[in-house]
Structure 1
Amino acid sequence: MKRITSSVLALAIALGATASFAGGPVVIEEEGQPEVIAETPRSGWIVPVVVGLVLICALACGSDDDEQVRR
């Protein structure tokens, strides 16, 4: 009886150990983040020029809110 029990126990340990190491170790390497370099904007002058033109036009045109009396 002891011989059968020890054989079954040894077989169970051998099969259990092989199944637990079946996949091998999992090694996860973290990759570095890619470096993003922003280029200088080509149209960096357009927005200030457009805003400036709108302000100059608003000042030059003025407002005509005066009501004129019709006779």
Structure 2
Amino acid sequence: MGAWFRWTELRIFLEVNMKKLVIAAALTAAASTASAGNLAEPIVEPPVIVEQAESSSSGILLPLLLLVLVGAAVASN
């Protein structure tokens, strides 16, 4: 009868502790979901727009080339 008493005592001990463990886990889960997140607005940084820079000599290159060609044509006559 001693072994049966020990098994019954162990079963009761586990039932009581498992109930406490389940309650503690449920309270922890409820507390963690209640405090998750933030009420402040999220900070969204503006997108970076990359524009291609133009060369400052692009507007003068063609007239200079044309002037050189005209000068070469005049010099050859």
Structure 2 length as normaliser, TM-score? 0.40
Structure number having the greater helix percentage: 2
